[in-house]
Amino acid sequence: MEIVGHLIDGKNVTENTATMPLTNPATGIQASELALASAEQTRGAIEAASKAYPSWRATLPVKRAQVMFRFKSLLEEHLTDIGYLIGREHGKIPHDAEGEVRRGIENVEFACFAPEILKGEFSKNVGPGIDSWSEFQPLGVAAGITPFNFPVMVPLWMYPLAIVCGNTFVLKPSEKDPSAALYVAKLAHEAGLPNGVLNVVNGGKEVVDVLLTDPAIKAISFVGSTPVAESVYNKATSEGKRCQALGGAKNHAIIMPDADLPNAVKALTGAAFGSSGERCMAISVAVVVGQQTAKDLVTNLKTEMSGLRVGGPQNNNNDFGPLISAEHKQKVISLIESAEAEGAELVVDGRSPKLSDEDRGFFLGGTLIDKVKPEMTCYRNEIFGPVLCVVHVDNLEKAMELVSEHEYGNGACLFTRDGEAARHFSDNVEAGMVGINVPLPVPVSYHSFGGWKRSMFGDLSAYGPDGVRFYTRRKTITQRWPSHSTKETTRFSFPAS
C-alpha cells in the first residue's frame, strides 16, 4: 500500500515510528498509509530549514519571485492531478477542488510581487544631513499548521509569502488529507526552491508540540477550530513566537424584505452547502427580517435544495461530497437532532441522502432547519456541515445584534437593495469580513483574511499586506555622513531637527 511520508531537506522520507490509515471519505475504504513523523524527524526538518535560511535570506527578492512565477505555472499545469488527490482524501468534487487550488494560486501570484511588497520607506533630511529609512527583514524559520478542509489553499496562504519574504518554512498539513499538500510542496522544489527552504512533516500532536516549543521557529501560522487555535496561540506566544491563529466561525446572512430573493436563495444554497459546509466562511445561519420574508425564503430554499446532487468526486456533476470522517458526520447529525429536540422545525432532512451504489462513505445531504432560536445548541455551535439554520427577527437592528453578540466574528453578509442599510451594516456589524449581496466575502489575495473575536487570535491576519508584515520585522536605520568641515558640539539633550 502507498505510504505518504514527509519532505525534509528536499528528500522524500517514509521512515516512521508509527502510521495511520488514510481513508477515502466517499467510499469509507482505506486509500493509503500515512507515516507519522517523530519528534526527532520534526527537529530534523527544523534544522534543515535553519541551515537553508542564511543563503535563502541572501537571495535577491527578484530571484525568489522568479521561483514563485515557475511555481504558479506548475500549479496550473498540474491542476487536475492536485484536484484528484484532494478528492481522494477529502472527497471534494473536481470543480470544487480545482476552485480551491485556483484561489491558492492567487496567493502565489501575490508572492510574485516580492520586489514591490518588500519595498521599505525612505525619508531624506529628517535632520541636518540625516536620512532615515525602514526595511522589512525576514524572521528566520516559520511554521504552518493547516486544516483538512482546504488541504492546498490554506498552505498556499502561508508558505509562498513567508518564503518570498526570505524565511524558510516547515509545514504540518492535516493528517486527514496530507497528500495534496505534499505533492504541491514537491512542485515548489521543482520550481527551483533550494533544499531545506520548504519542509513538510506529517503527524499529530507530537509534531505540533515540537513546532510550538523549538526555539528555531520564530513564527507560527495556524488554521483550525477555536479551542485549538486559542491553545496554539497561547503556547506559541508564551514561547516568544509570533502567532496568527485562525479559529472557528458562525457566519450569518441577513435577508432584508427588499432583497432580491431569487439571488439570495441561490447564493445561500451555494454558501451553506458547498464543500459540504466544511469551510470557515460557510453561511450556517440565515437571519430573516419579517415573517413574510422568512416564509418566502424557506419555501424557495426548499425548492432549490430539492435539486442538490450529493455524491463522490468521481462525478463532476455532483454539487458536494462527503464529510471528512464518520466521527464528524455523527457530530453533525447530533446537532441536527438537538435542533429537533429543542423545538426547531426540520424543513429539509439530509440525514438519508440518495446516493449511487459506489458512494458508501460519510455523506449528509443539505439540511434546512427553520425557527431556530439563539439559545439552541445548533445556533451556538459551529456545525461545519451542510446545515442551514433560519432565525426570524423583526428588524435589521435585531439581526445585527445576533451577529455582534455571537462569540465568533468571522464573516457576515447582508442581502438588500437599500444602500443606507448596507452602509450601516458594514460600518457597525461585529465581524472581520463583510459581504453586501456577496455570501462568501473571502478577501482576494492582495487584501488580508481574518475574523474578529474568537475567530482570530493575533494582531495580523492571513496573507496579503498583513501576511507580509507577519513574516517580516521592521528595521529602521538613521544615517548621517558628516562633512569634514562640520564642527561638532557635545549634546546632552535629546536631538531634534
Query: Which residues contact residue 37 at a Cβ distance below 8 angstroms, ignoring those fewer than 6 apart?
Result: 6, 16, 45, 201, 202, 203, 206, 207
The predicted pLDDT at position 89 comes to 97
413 given a catalytic annotation = no
- Residue 453's Cβ-count burial label (10 Å; 0-12, 13-18, 19+) is middle
Q: Which of 112, 165, 243, 280 is catalytic?
A: 280
Backbone angles phi, psi at 5, to 5 degrees: -110, -135
What ranges do the domains of the chain cover?
3-247+455-477, 251-436
Q: Is residue 338 scored above 90 in pLDDT?
A: yes
Is residue 3 within 8 A of residue 32, CB to CB? The reply is yes
User: For 430-469, how does the pLDDT look when each residue is reduced to its tens digit (9 = 90+)?
Assistant: 999 999 999 999 999 999 999 999 999 999 999 999 999 9
How many residues does this entry show for the chain? 497
Mean pLDDT of the chain: 96
The predicted pLDDT at position 117 comes to 92
The predicted pLDDT at position 496 comes to 65
The predicted pLDDT at position 77 comes to 98
Q: Is residue 33 scored above 80 in pLDDT?
A: yes
The yes or no reply on domain 3-247+455-477 and CATH 3.40.605.10 is: yes
CATH of domain 251-436: 3.40.309.10
Rounded average pLDDT over 181-209: 97
The predicted pLDDT at position 248 comes to 95
Cα dihedral sign, 387-391-395-400? negative
Beta strands in 208-249 (DSSP E): 217-223, 242-246
pLDDT band at 483 (very low <50, low <70, confident <90, very high): confident
The predicted pLDDT at position 357 comes to 87
Give the type of residue at 250.
K
DSSP 265: H
Rounded average pLDDT over 79-94: 97
Q: Is residue 201 scored above 80 in pLDDT?
A: yes
**Could you give the CA distance from residue 96 to residue 287 in angstroms, rounded to a whole number?**
27
The predicted pLDDT at position 128 comes to 85
Q: What is the pTM of this model?
A: 0.95
The predicted pLDDT at position 286 comes to 98
The predicted pLDDT at position 473 comes to 97
Rounded average pLDDT over 138-166: 98
Q: How many CA atoms lie within 13 A of 249 on its CB side?
A: 31
CA distance to 441, 445, 468, per residue, from 77 (Å) = 28, 21, 27
The predicted pLDDT at position 164 comes to 98
User: For 37-59, how does the pLDDT look when each residue is reduced to its tens digit (9 = 90+)?
Assistant: 999 999 999 999 999 999 999 99
Residue 100: which of 61, 141, 149 has the closest Cα? 149
Among residues of the chain, what percentage have pLDDT more than 90? 93
User: For 292-305, how does the pLDDT look when each residue is reduced to its tens digit (9 = 90+)?
Assistant: 999 999 999 999 99
| DSSP symbols for 204-236 | SHHHHHHHHH-TTEEEEEEES-HHHHHHHHHHH
The predicted pLDDT at position 265 comes to 98
Q: Is residue 216 scored above 80 in pLDDT?
A: yes
Q: Is residue 230 scored above 90 in pLDDT?
A: yes
> Which triple of cell numbers denotes residue 457?
487570535
